[in-house]
Chain A
């Protein structure tokens, strides 16, 4: 420990790119956590400015919203994606008028209400594509944030209803239990719900 501290002090003294955090920061940076984890809302309290804190909270939330488990079914076109590299859904499927496929190739033709570990087919209650108004794939946190707050593009949900959806929806919950061979979304659904509550409490500001 002593050696490591000495090294940090030495680096700081040299003006290197790697700096120890200052004792008192005028505007603290957002917390840094493992990409597979989520920072807790308390970690953002060091950001003094409320709006700035809200924007930082959304940036943390966006780690989940931009994750393949989420964006693969928030697509701008006629087909879902799959895998961690957003490959086109195989077999080829069409969105259909209700975002649940077309006759003969409806989502529930193959997807059950739970994951199938042997057949490796993912599943959850109400498996379907997000409507075209709710595109997240290849969108920035700013764009996703504005979309989520816009009642014409969020299923006419209030912020409280958005929180409820994030906290309790069973299809949302699948993102953390995606079954065979799929990387789960960062953190947990409960942690995301806490972040969403804190984001709403701080004014639901969107990052630039």
Chain B
């Protein structure tokens, strides 16, 4: 059994310790907000937080999360009202939407560490989250709006 806290709920998981965390989230627990993109940590669609730090769930064996806290897009806020989620809606950021959970999870970690990021800060931190629709300009604007909203 692997003991993990996921979105505030303690779980004892009876799974192969080498199973990628993404499989546990989506296939075992039904938390399908986190997406499978490339499976090689190259696109960012599967980004979740492990003790508040963004990691790629597709390449993270579940045993790495043992005794730690996992946060997914479902657990980022109680009712979808994290400043970033509100800013995302206000700015109409998503196009197809597939990458957006990963984008928001990375952006949330950025704002937690740096409440007023510059354009360069945003570009550096978000560089591993790819958007095939090219919504980068709206993503940056929404991050800045959320940063302003938090002040």
B-contacting residues of A (Cβ < 8 Å)?
A: 90-94, 102-106, 108-110, 112, 116, 118-121
A-contacting residues of B (Cβ < 8 Å)?
A: 39-42, 47, 53-56, 58-61, 64, 106-107, 109-110, 112-114, 121, 124-130
Q: Are B124 and A105 in contact (CB under 8 A)?
A: yes
Specify which of A91, A92, A109, A112 is in contact with B54 (CB 8 Å cutoff): A109
Evaluate whether A102 and B40 lie within 8 angstroms (CB atoms) in the complex, with A110-B59, A119-B59 already known.
no
Cβ distance B23 to chain A, nearest Cβ, rounded Å:
12
Q: Are B125 and A121 in contact (CB under 8 A)?
A: no
- The CA of A187 and the CA of B109, in the complex, are separated in Å by 42
Evaluate whether A110 and B125 lie within 8 angstroms (CB atoms) in the complex, with A103-B109, A104-B54, A119-B41 already known.
no
Evaluate whether A109 and B55 lie within 8 angstroms (CB atoms) in the complex, with A91-B42, A103-B114, A120-B40 already known.
yes
A108 contacts across to B, CB distance below 8 A: 53, 55
Cβ distance B146 to chain A, nearest Cβ, rounded Å:
14
- The CA of A92 and the CA of B128, in the complex, are separated in Å by 7
Q: Are B40 and A119 in contact (CB under 8 A)?
A: yes
Cβ distance A118 to chain B, nearest Cβ, rounded Å:
8
The closest CB in chain B to the CB of A113 belongs to B64
- The CA of A175 and the CA of B6, in the complex, are separated in Å by 35
Looking at chain A's contact residues, the main secondary structure is loop
A120 contacts across to B, CB distance below 8 A: 40
B56 contacts across to A, CB distance below 8 A: 109-110
- The CA of A102 and the CA of B56, in the complex, are separated in Å by 15
The closest CB in chain B to the CB of A96 belongs to B124
Q: List 28 A-B contacts (CB under 8 A).
A: A91-B42, A92-B127, A94-B124, A94-B127, A102-B121, A102-B125, A103-B54, A103-B109, A103-B112, A104-B54, A104-B107, A104-B109, A105-B125, A105-B127, A105-B128, A109-B41, A109-B47, A109-B54, A109-B55, A109-B56, A110-B55, A110-B128, A118-B39, A119-B39, A119-B58, A121-B40, A121-B41, A121-B59
- The CA of A94 and the CA of B114, in the complex, are separated in Å by 16
Cβ distance B17 to chain A, nearest Cβ, rounded Å:
12
